[in-house]
Amino acid sequence: MAKKYFLRDDITYDFGLIAVHSVIEGFSLAYILNKTLKGKFKRSFSNEIINSANFEFFKWEIKKENIDCSLISNQKKIKSKIKKSNTSLFFFEETKKVSLIDSLENVDYFIKINSGLEINFVVEKIKSLPEIILSYIINNKKIKSKFNLIID
């Protein structure tokens, strides 16, 4: 039997994606979304999810109701200690801001809907929240690094 190999760009994966701009922390946003959408976002610490090592990841999954959603932070600050020069005695901390999706670096969080929820309904509910600055639907075809969002 012949083996099949896929390039990352060839993988087709259908999901709805909502961009959320907010200044609150991820756990607060998950709590507010749980209250508003009657959801069950829970923080995931799974080692199997490779991209969540640096980014906050919350999962809402109810198999009986076919609901599968994720709340993913898009921004992470990484601190690294560097030595300024060979003659310096002190270490300096450098802070670097990285994004899960580089082309959408200003977005704070993504809500990825795999199944079970109507994306327009979720956006309308989120827009009514005072903690949310802006929310909108993202066209998946415009995202170059879509593979970063396949973390299930």
Strand partners, 67: 62
Query: Is this structure's pTM higher than 0.85?
Result: no
Mean pLDDT by 10 residues, the chain (152 residues): 50 75 90 89 65 72 84 81 63 75 84 86 89 87 56 48
Per-residue pLDDT at 47: 46
Amino acid at 77: K
- The domains of the chain are located at 13-76+94-149
Q: What is residue 91's predicted lDDT score, i.e. its pLDDT?
A: 67
- Whole-number pLDDT of residue 7: 47
Cα atoms in the Cβ-side hemisphere of radius 13 Å centred on 44: 24
